[in-house]
Amino acid sequence: MSTLAIVLIVIGAVIVIALAAVLVRRTAENRRRERERLRREAAGHRQEAEAHALKAREKREEARLEHAGAEQDGAAAKEHRRLAEEREQGAAAVRERAEREREVASSSRDEAGRERELAEEHARRAREREQTATEATDRALRLDRSASSGYEDAQAQREVAEKRAGTVEERERRAEEAEDRARREGRAAGLHDQRAAERDPDAD
């Protein structure tokens, strides 16, 4: 083999080696760039996942506050309902007293009439009894008006309690919806973090 052929072979080998080195370097550079790009994307996904997680925590806190407010409103509604029931019981008692007073007044009037019919000498006593009956009637009427007023107050208290109960149910529903949204966003945040970890296994 001549010297020229050997030189050409050596030059060809050097060229091949240089080309291989260039290709290896370019491949390594491309891999490094791809790794950097993936790392940046993973960092962006991680930030997005952290933002979702923060939002989910805020939603969870808001739902907790909604629950606390709903419980307080529920307690207030129960208290109003109890007061309304007490007012109704008081109104019923006053109405019963008024009925008894009315019966007493009726009985007194009847007795006064009988006294007038029995004898003229008992006329004064009959007038006194009739006056007593009239006073009892007035008291009965006043008690009846008081009972009616108490019953109206009790009805108003019951309506307020029913409205409060409806408001409590609405706020509890909104609180449950907020909790559902918080759980969904928490799952979305976990999924984003998992995807970020899968796309950038060397990020840690």
Structure-token pair, residue 181:
């949204």
Rounded Cα distance, 27 and 199, in Å: 20
- What string of pLDDT tens digits covers the 204 residues of the chain? 577 788 888 888 889 998 998 999 999 999 999 999 898 888 888 888 888 888 888 888 888 888 888 888 888 888 888 888 888 888 888 888 888 888 887 777 777 677 777 767 766 775 787 788 788 788 878 876 776 676 677 677 777 767 776 787 788 888 888 888 888 888 887 777 777 777 665 544
CA distances from residue 191 to 39, 49, 51, 121, 182 in whole angstroms, order as listed:
18, 8, 13, 105, 14
- pTM, entire model: 0.29
Q: How far apart (Å, rounded) are the C-alpha atoms in residues 94 and 110?
A: 24
Domain residue ranges of the chain, discontinuous segments joined by +:
3-199
CATH superfamily of 3-199: Methyl-accepting chemotaxis protein (1.10.287.950)
